[in-house]
Amino acid sequence: MNTKKMKKNYFNYDEKNDIFTIHKGFTDNETFDGNIDTGNIIFDVSTKGRIRGVEIMDATRFFNQSYKLSPTNIKEIQKRLQVLNKADFKAQATPNGMIITLFTQTKKLTKIVPTKIALPLEMRPNQIKVIT
């Protein structure tokens, strides 16, 4: 995926590598500038200092913990991630890190499910801005 020039929203679940990706794309006057790697979650940052993408490694484990399901439900989580029809996120900078809220919706469920990620970052770049 060429994130340098991506213009539109994108989300995908890669079952083979268990990676869930949401990307908002870039405006005409911004491009990919770098990543913030927190371990299992990687953020794409634009030249305007905005979080434009979220990649969650080991996604089934992450969502299993977020939904507080038993470990035997990994296949159910994979199935949910494969049938998403909407996915988005909102990033908010805090004095000690970031709060990322993921919004997902499956084709069967009309309810949008929010999942919050609080990330304490020791060296959070000062230029990161809130995304709405």
**Predicted confidence (pLDDT) per residue in 5-64, tens digit:** 555 788 999 999 999 999 998 888 888 998 888 888 898 989 888 889 999 999 988 887
Domain ranges for the chain: 10-120
Q: Is the dihedral angle over the CA atoms 122, 60, 17, 88 positive or is it negative?
A: negative
Q: Tokens 């990919």: give the residue.
A: 32
Q: Which pTM value belongs to this model?
A: 0.77
